[in-house]
């Protein structure tokens, strides 16, 4: 008993020091009043609506013991320590434990000594359910009152929530308990027939997507939030198209992984973007395999300041490497990735390295000093038309730069080397494609010589990367157009940056030496369709101009070369293939330069023939935005 008394005294002192007595005192008072009513009521019911005068003392004794033990057990089970949300399941569990412990502590002795003090043995058996129901009801009523006072005002947008599952339910509750929320939940939409009429935190399920027009008329909603954690692009396109027909603005929640990691909240909504409806590919990650080769290891990322490199750094940091080394030749880009990963841009700490992969001596020295165990090689030149004009730069960076990193990795004993490639390396026709194909083959060669896990990962376009199509289109739309597309039938594979990087990291866990792992990009998408959808989402009238395919640009990209047999073996979204190794001594710079000089001369001659071949054709219409129409 002394130990319990000391514990109670310490808990009371803690409560006082933390200023929580004022917070819990009203609820404690309510609970004690409930017991003070429940105990006499139980005796009154036991004696058929009358209490013999001889039982008054026993009632007082039982009541006093019950009140004391309610407080003691309430502190022990944290019911009166301000740790639970009002009316939450956790508080119900604490309340149940407290009431049950109090009932047992008082009721069991009464079985033996109840008649001696003039109290019926069944007092606690009758009083306990009465007290529990009353205490639970008081908490629920308090929760209702608090939530009603915290609801957003009339200024908030009337909003429909798509999805009545756990995520949608949590979002509805968040909207209804935040007075500052810009959105007010007025209804739920769900395609499950059995959920029609269901209630989630006071908001009803009003129908399915097919009933959306009727639901909008009934609620005057202006926004629709998609509250489905793993919605893919096809589903979001369907929802967005239907919502636009009904005049609704579509919003999406942050990625569920960000919510779980604490980086974002469920209520952090944003407008749906083109990345959501084109490149969203939910990814299942094998956590154990990734943790096995990243956690506690020294990891280096080249091209860390780029779009892919920066996201790789962010995701790798989540796997708790012993050291994350971020290398780039752009100091401003390094500052941005340091802000992203570490929350500061001091540029004075050793995790950021300013170096150029073209500088072989510096790269080798760095690797020997820092001894990375895992390398993600993302540094590269990537713009196809620019490299067509300057093929020597592709050689210096994509070929020789990759070779420098591979040699440095070999010298430092790197165990896992992941070369980031592109779909343009499959059946290459451009300078970019050929340079990345050579980098794949060099990686395979070093896998053979080191017997380590050196491999390449190949995927298509990533949405939203710096200088890519979507930001370019957005800039053209903001400027009022026209929006330029090379060909009405041109298609490309697309994936968002986070999803691509997630699969790249997964590929590093399951790939074998000398392999090329090919990410499943879904179905190819017509560029024209993306352009039209972005114009529609902007609400502007923008002209689309076709400029013609650029030199060596494909109408349709490939993910697998004609001589490769790719098959999915471990992960359903990652296929495995092999490329023939290319030894560094077999590289021929003169052959590269002479080949692309001939190709460039042929392209120029072809363009001149197109322009000058017909004496009667006017020259002006053959050019749009300075580019020849093919």
Query: Which token pair is 586?
Result: 């077999």
**Which CATH number applies to 287-463+494-521+558-587?**
3.40.50.720
Q: What is the pLDDT of residue 614?
A: 30
Task: Name the residue among 440, 431, 446, 383 with its Cα closest to residue 583.
Answer: 446
Residues 484-495: pLDDT tens digits? 999 999 998 888
Residue 179 pLDDT exceeds 60:
yes
**Going by C-beta distance under 8 Å and a sequence separation of 6 or more, which residues neighbour residue 262?**
none
Cα separation, 283 vs 257, whole angstroms:
11
Q: What is the pLDDT of residue 601?
A: 66
Residues 288-335: pLDDT tens digits? 778 789 999 999 999 999 999 999 999 999 999 999 999 999 999 999
Task: Name the residue among 132, 135, 137 with its Cα closest to residue 30.
Answer: 135
Q: What is the pTM of this model?
A: 0.71
Cα separation, 526 vs 544, whole angstroms:
14
Residue 212 pLDDT exceeds 80:
yes
| Domain spans in the chain, listed from the N-terminal domain onward | 2-149, 157-272, 287-463+494-521+558-587, 596-624
**Which CATH number applies to 157-272?**
3.40.50.720
Residue 357 pLDDT exceeds 70:
yes
Give me the phi and psi of 454, to 5 degrees please. Answer: -105, 120
**Percent of the chain clearing pLDDT 90 (strictly above):** 38
Residue 579 pLDDT exceeds 80:
yes
Q: In the predicted model, what is the mean pLDDT of residues 94-118?
A: 81
Query: Which token pair is 467?
Result: 């200088």
Whether 124 contacts 110, CB under 8 Å: yes
Residues 447-477: pLDDT tens digits? 999 999 999 999 888 887 776 788 888 889 9
131 three-class SS: helix
Q: In the predicted model, what is the mean pLDDT of residues 49-65?
A: 74
Residue 148 pLDDT exceeds 60:
yes
Q: In the predicted model, what is the mean pLDDT of residues 500-511?
A: 90
Q: What is the pLDDT of residue 82?
A: 73
What's the whole-number average pLDDT of the chain? 83
Q: What is the pLDDT of residue 351?
A: 94
Is it true that 157-272 and 287-463+494-521+558-587 share their CATH fold? yes
**Going by C-beta distance under 8 Å and a sequence separation of 6 or more, which residues neighbour residue 626?**
none
Give me the phi and psi of 35, to 5 degrees please. Answer: -65, -40
Whether 283 contacts 315, CB under 8 Å: no
Partnered with residue 485 across adjacent β-strands are 546
Helices (H), 122-184: 123-149, 166-176
């Amino acid at each position: 008993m002394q130990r319990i008394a000391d514990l109670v005294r310490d808990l009371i002192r803690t409560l006082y020091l933390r200023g929580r007595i004022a917070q819990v005192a009203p609820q404690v008072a309510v609970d004690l009043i409930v017991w003070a009513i429940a105990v006499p009521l139980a005796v009154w019911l036991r004696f058929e609506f009358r209490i013999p005068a001889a039982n008054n003392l026993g009632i007082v004794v039982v009541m006093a013991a019950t009140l004391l033990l309610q407080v003691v057990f309430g502190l022990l089970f944290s019911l009166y320590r301000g740790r639970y949300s009002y009316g939450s399941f956790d508080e119900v569990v604490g309340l149940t434990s407290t009431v049950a412990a109090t009932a047992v502590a008082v009721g069991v002795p009464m079985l033996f000594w109840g008649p001696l003090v003039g109290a019926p043995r069944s007092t606690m058996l009758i009083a306990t359910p009465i007290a529990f129901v009353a205490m639970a009801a008081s908490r629920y009523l308090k929760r209702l009152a608090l939530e009603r006072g915290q609801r957003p005002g009339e200024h908030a947008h009337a909003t429909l929530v798509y999805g009545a599952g756990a995520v949608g339910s949590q979002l509805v509750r968040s909207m209804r308990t935040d007075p500052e929320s810009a959105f007010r939940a007025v209804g739920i939409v769900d395609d499950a027939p059995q959920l029609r009429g269901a209630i989630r935190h006071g908001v009803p399920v009003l129908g399915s997507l097919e009933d959306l027009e009727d639901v909008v008329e009934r609620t005057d909603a202006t926004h629709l939030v998609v509250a489905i954690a793993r919605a893919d692009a096809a589903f979001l396109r369907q929802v967005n198209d239907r919502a636009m027909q009904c005049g609704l603005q579509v919003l999406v929640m942050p990625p569920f992984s960000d919510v779980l990691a604490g980086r974002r909240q469920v209520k952090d909504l944003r407008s749906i973007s083109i990345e959501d409806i084109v490149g969203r590919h939910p990814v299942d990650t094998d956590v154990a395999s990734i943790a096995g080769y990243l956690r506690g290891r020294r990891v280096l990322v080249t091209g860390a300041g780029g779009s892919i490199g920066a996201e790789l750094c962010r995701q790798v940091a989540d796997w708790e490497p012993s050291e994350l080394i971020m290398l780039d030749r752009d100091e401003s880009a390094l500052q941005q990735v340091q802000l992203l990963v570490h929350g500061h841009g001091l540029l004075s700490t050793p995790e950021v390295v300013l170096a150029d992969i073209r500088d072989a001596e510096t790269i080798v020295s760095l690797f020997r000093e820092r001894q990375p165990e895992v390398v993600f090689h993302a540094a590269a030149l990537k713009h196809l038309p620019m490299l067509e004009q300057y093929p020597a730069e592709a050689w210096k960076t994509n070929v020789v730069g990759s070779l420098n990193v591979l040699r440095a990795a070999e010298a430092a004993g790197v165990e896992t080397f992941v070369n980031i490639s592109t779909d343009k390396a499959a059946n290459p026709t451009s300078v970019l494609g050929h340079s990345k194909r050579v980098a794949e083959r060099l990686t395979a060669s070093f896998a053979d010589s080191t017997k380590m896990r050196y491999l390449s990962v190949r995927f298509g376009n990533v949405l939203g990367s710096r200088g890519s199509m979507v930001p370019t289109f957005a800039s053209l739309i903001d400027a009022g157009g026209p929006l330029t597309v090379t060909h009405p039938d041109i298609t490309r594979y697309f994936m968002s940056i986070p999803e691509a990087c997630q699969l790249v990291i997964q590929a590093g866990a399951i790939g074998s030496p000398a392999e090329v792992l090919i990410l499943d990009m879904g179905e190819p998408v017509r560029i024209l369709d993306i352009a039209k959808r972005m114009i529609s989402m902007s609400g502007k009238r923008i002209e689309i101009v076709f400029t013609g395919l650029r030199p060596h640009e494909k109408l349709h990209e490939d993910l697998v070369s004609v001589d490769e047999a790719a098959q999915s073996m471990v992960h359903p979204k990652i296929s495995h293939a092999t490329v023939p190794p290319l030894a560094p001594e077999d590289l021929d710079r003169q052959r590269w330069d002479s080949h692309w000089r001939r190709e460039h001369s042929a392209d120029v001659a072809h363009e001149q023939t197109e322009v000058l071949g017909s004496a009667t054709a006017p020259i002006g219409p053959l050019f749009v935005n300075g580019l020849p129409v093919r």
